[in-house]
């Protein structure tokens, strides 16, 4: 008789670009090493052009297509750069309504992915660069070999479970998402 292997919980993570996709894959590796039965489907949302509303609309299409083929997702999230937020209050409201209707958890990176990554480092949790350029400069000082779109295997040298918990403690949307999918206890 074969041993029973629990079904993995399917999680959808819509990603603005390859950097976020690699980060999601790193979350998958961390979940595996913790013995969690999760599968995070990391999906680059193209086209989207950085517009949060367009990215969520694309995510909804992808979620429907993938759910039709393989069954529903237990949780869904989209990771977005906050530097495009507040450009159009009407679109922001529409984005929030759409995300709520489709039960998509929005994870805001402030101001961008590199700024989000900064908060994974010890004593950098409160770093809040004002723009993407300053975020990249600050991250480069801490992690000189970092490059956009680096594969998950390269992220593994700096992003471990402790780093994720540091970021989750100061990024409420991210922390709530990790709790929802079972990758973190209540933060």
pLDDT in tens, the chain (187 residues): 777 667 789 999 999 999 999 999 999 999 999 889 899 999 999 866 678 999 999 999 999 999 999 999 999 999 999 887 777 888 899 999 999 999 999 999 999 999 999 999 999 999 899 999 999 999 999 999 999 988 999 999 999 999 999 999 999 999 999 999 988 864 4
Domain contains 160: yes
Is 47 part of any domain?
yes
Give the pLDDT score at 154. 92
The position carrying tokens 């495009």 is: 84
In a domain, 42, yes or no: yes
Cα separation of the two ends of the chain: 40
Looking at the structure of the chain, the number of domains it has is 1
Domain extent for 141: 9-181
Q: Is residue 186 part of a domain?
A: no
Task: State the pLDDT at residue 84.
Answer: 77
Residue 4 lies in a domain: no
pLDDT of residue 142: 95
- Backbone torsions φ then ψ of 98, nearest 5 degrees: -65, -45
Within-domain flag for 17: yes
Residue 48 pLDDT: 60
For residue 187, the model assigns a pLDDT of 44
Position 3 in a domain: no
Flag whether 2 is in a domain: no
Q: CA–CA separation, 163 vs 111, rounded Å?
A: 19
Those residues with Cβ within 8 angstroms of residue 80's Cβ, 6 or more apart along the chain or in another chain: 16, 52, 55, 56, 106, 107, 108, 109
pTM of the entire predicted model? 0.91
């Amino acid at each position: 008789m074969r041993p029973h292997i629990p079904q993995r919980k399917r999680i959808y993570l819509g990603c603005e670009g390859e950097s976020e996709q690699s980060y999601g894959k790193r979350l998958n590796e961390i979940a595996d090493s913790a013995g969690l039965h999760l599968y995070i489907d990391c999906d680059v949302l193209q086209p989207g052009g950085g517009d949060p509303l367009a990215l969520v609309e694309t995510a909804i299409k992808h979620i429907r297509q993938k759910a039709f083929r393989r069954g529903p997702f237990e949780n869904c999230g989209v990771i977005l750069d906050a530097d495009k937020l507040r450009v159009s209050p009407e679109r922001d409201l529409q984005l929030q309504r759409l995300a709520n209707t489709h039960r998509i958890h929005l994870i805001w990176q402030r101001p961008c992915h590199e700024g989000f990554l900064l908060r994974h480092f010890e004593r950098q949790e409160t770093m809040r660069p004002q723009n993407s350029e300053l975020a990249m400069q600050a991250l480069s000082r801490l992690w000189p070999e970092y490059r956009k779109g680096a594969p998950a295997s390269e992220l593994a040298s700096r992003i471990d479970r402790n780093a994720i918990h540091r970021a989750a403690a100061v990024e409420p949307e991210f922390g709530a998402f990790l709790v929802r999918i079972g990758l973190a206890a209540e933060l």
